[in-house]
C-alpha cells in the first residue's frame, strides 16, 4: 500500500514520456552505394569521432528528438525521430553540407528519404544485409550495433529508436539463422577455404605452402590459419621476401627450387606468382603421389598467367582450382544468396507490420493518459464530496 503512490507516479511519468514520443515520425535520410558514387560517399562518410560530434550537434536541433547516425564505406544513414519532418530533414541536410563543406546541391540528388514504415523497413533491410553490395555479408550488423552504442552513449536515442534498434537486431539475427543468406563464400579466399573443407573435412593440421605473394593469396593463408592449419611454408623467388612473409605467418621460408620437394608434405598449395610458365608441373605432382600415400592435395592457383599445370587436376586425389573456377563458385553462391534474400524480405515485411502495431499502440497512449487524468479528477472531486458529506452528517448530528 505504501508503494502504490510511488508506482503510480512512475507509470504516470512513463505515460508522459510515451505521450511525448507518440506524435512523432521516424525519418531516415541516407545515401548508399546504389545512389552515390564512391567520390561522394567518401566525402560524406563520418569517422567515429565525427559521428560522435555530429550526434551532439544534430541532437541539439530543436526538431530532432531522437537520433542515430550510421556510416560505413558503402553508406551514410541518419535516422531521426521528429515531430516536424521538414525542419528535421532540412537541418540534417544543412549539417551534412556544413560539416563536409560541400554545397547541398552536390549530394541532394543522391539522398533518399524514407518515412514511417519505409524508414523502419530500410533499417531492417540494412542491418540484415539485404541492402548490401554483397548480400548477406556479416559485418554490417556489427556496424549498426556500434552506431547504436554511440547513440546511446551520447544519450540521443529514446523510446522509439531503442525499440526500433532492438527489433532490428532481432530481425537481422532471425534472417541470418532462418535463411541461407550468409550461407556460402562470396570472396575468393573464403571460397578457397570452403572448397578445402569439402576435400579435407577439417583443415586442422593440414600443411600449407604459399608460392609467391599477393593480397588475395595472403588473405587466403590468413583464413587457413584461422582454421588451425598445421605448418606454413612460403616459397618466393626473392628469398628475403619469402623470409619476411614466413615470419608474418609464423612459417618457414623455402627457396623456389625446394617446391617440388615440399609437395611431399603439404596438402594445400596457394600460388600467386608473376611467372609466365607453370611453377608446378604435372610430373612434379605425379612424382610425389606415392610418397604421399595418395593423400589428397589441393592447389589454389590465383595467378594469371596460371602457375599450376591444369593437367594436375586429372591426377588422382589432386584438385586444382584457378581464379576463374573460384569466381564460378562465387557467382553461384551469390545467386543462391539472392534467392535466400527473398525469404529475408518476407521476414522484414512481418517485422515492419509488428513495429507498426507497436507504434499504433503508442498513439493510444494519449487517450489512456487523458482518460486517467479524467478519472483522477473525478476521483478527487468524489473524495472531496465524500469528505464534505462526511462533515455534513457530523454537523447534522
Partner 1 sequence: MEILIIFTVLFYMLSTAAYFVFLFLQKNYTQRIGYFLILAGFLCHTANIVYCFVKYGHLPVSSFQETLSFAGWAVAGMFLVFQYKFNLKILGIFAAPMVTLIVVLATLVSGESYQTTKIFKNFWLISHVLAIFLGEAAFTLAAGLGVLYLIQENTIKTKKHRFFLKRLPSLDLLDSSGYACIVVGFTMLTLGLITGLVYAKSYWGRFWSWDPKEVWSGITWIFYAVLLHERLTVGWRGRKSAIMAIIGFGVLLFTFLGVNLLLGGHHGEFTK
Q: Specify whether the CB–CB gap between 89 and 113 falls below 8 A.
A: yes
Residue 200 or 233: the one with the smaller Cβ distance to partner 1 is 200
Residues 272-291 that bind partner 1 (CB under 8 A): 290
Q: Does 56 bind partner 1 (CB under 8 A)?
A: no
Residues 6+ apart with CB under 8 A from 31: 40, 41, 44, 75, 76, 107, 110, 111, 112
Q: Does 300 bind partner 1 (CB under 8 A)?
A: no
Q: Does 48 bind partner 1 (CB under 8 A)?
A: no
Residues 189-218 that bind partner 1 (CB under 8 A): 195, 197-202
Q: Which of 144, 154, 142 is nearest to 55 (CA)?
A: 154
**73 catalytically annotated:** yes
H or E element, residue 155 = none
Q: Does 319 bind partner 1 (CB under 8 A)?
A: yes
Q: Does 316 bind partner 1 (CB under 8 A)?
A: yes
Q: Does 4 bind partner 1 (CB under 8 A)?
A: no
Instruction: Identify the DSSP state of 163.
Output: H
Distance CA 262, CA 210 (A): 11
- Cβ-based burial of 393 (10 A; exposed 0-12, middle 13-18, buried ≥19): exposed
Q: Specify whether the CB–CB gap between 302 and 214 falls below 8 A.
A: yes
Residue 108 or 332: the one with the smaller Cβ distance to partner 1 is 332
Which of 93, 145, 163, 184 lies at the binding interface for partner 1 (CB under 8 A)?
A: 184
Q: Does 321 bind partner 1 (CB under 8 A)?
A: yes
- Please list the residues that pair with 38 across neighbouring strands: none
Binding segment for partner 1 (CB under 8 A), chosen from 34-42, 52-60, 208-216, 294-302, is 294-302
| Residues belonging to the active site | 73
Query: Which residues here bind partner 1, judged by CB under 8 A?
Result: 184, 195, 197-202, 290, 292-296, 313, 316-317, 319, 321, 325, 328-329, 332
Amino acid at each position: 500500500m505504501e508503494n502504490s503512490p510511488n508506482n503510480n507516479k512512475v507509470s504516470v511519468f512513463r505515460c508522459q514520456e510515451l505521450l511525448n514520443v507518440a506524435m512523432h515520425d521516424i525519418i531516415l535520410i541516407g545515401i548508399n552505394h546504389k545512389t552515390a558514387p564512391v567520390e561522394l560517399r567518401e566525402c560524406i562518410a563520418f569517422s567515429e569521432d565525427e559521428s560522435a560530434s555530429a550526434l551532439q550537434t544534430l541532437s541539439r536541433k530543436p526538431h530532432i528528438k531522437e537520433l542515430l547516425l550510421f556510416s560505413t564505406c558503402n553508406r551514410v544513414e541518419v535516422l531521426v525521430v521528429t515531430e516536424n519532418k521538414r525542419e528535421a530533414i532540412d537541418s540534417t541536410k544543412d549539417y551534412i553540407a556544413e560539416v563536409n563543406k560541400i554545397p547541398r546541391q552536390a549530394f541532394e540528388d543522391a539522398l533518399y528519404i524514407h518515412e514511417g514504415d519505409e524508414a523502419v523497413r530500410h533499417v531492417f533491410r540494412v542491418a540484415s544485409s539485404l541492402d548490401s553490395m554483397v548480400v548477406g555479408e556479416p559485418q554490417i550488423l556489427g556496424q549498426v550495433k556500434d552506431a547504436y552504442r554511440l547513440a546511446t552513449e551520447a544519450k540521443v536515442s529514446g523510446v522509439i529508436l531503442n525499440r526500433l534498434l532492438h527489433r532490428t537486431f532481432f530481425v537481422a539475427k532471425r534472417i541470418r539463422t532462418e535463411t541461407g543468406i550468409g550461407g556460402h563464400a562470396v570472396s575468393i579466399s573464403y571460397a578457397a577455404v570452403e572448397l578445402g573443407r569439402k576435400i579435407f573435412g577439417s583443415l586442422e593440421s593440414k600443411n600449407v605452402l604459399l608460392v609467391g605473394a599477393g593480397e588475395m593469396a595472403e588473405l587466403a593463408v590468413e583464413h587457413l590459419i584461422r582454421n588451425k592449419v598445421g605448418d606454413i611454408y612460403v616459397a618466393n623467388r626473392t628469398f628475403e621476401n619469402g623470409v619476411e612473409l614466413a615470419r608474418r605467418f609464423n612459417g618457414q621460408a623455402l627457396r623456389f627450387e625446394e617446391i617440388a620437394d615440399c609437395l611431399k608434405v603439404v596438402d594445400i598449395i596457394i600460388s600467386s606468382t608473376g611467372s609466365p610458365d607453370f611453377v608446378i608441373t604435372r610430373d612434379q605432382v605425379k612424382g610425389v603421389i606415392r610418397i604421399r600415400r595418395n593423400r589428397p592435395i589441393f592447389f589454389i592457383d590465383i595467378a594469371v598467367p596460371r602457375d599450376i599445370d591444369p593437367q594436375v587436376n586429372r591426377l588422382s586425389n589432386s584438385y586444382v582450382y584457378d581464379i576463374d573456377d573460384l569466381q564460378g563458385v562465387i557467382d553461384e553462391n551469390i545467386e543462391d544468396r539472392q534467392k535466400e534474400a527473398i525469404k529475408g524480405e518476407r521476414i522484414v515485411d512481418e517485422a515492419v507490420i509488428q513495429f507498426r502495431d507497436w507504434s499504433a499502440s503508442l498513439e493510444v497512449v494519449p487517450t489512456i493518459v487523458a482518460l486517467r487524468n479524467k478519472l483522477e479528477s473525478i476521483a478527487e472531486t468524489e473524495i472531496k464530496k465524500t469528505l464534505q458529506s462526511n462533515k455534513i452528517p457530523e454537523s447534522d448530528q
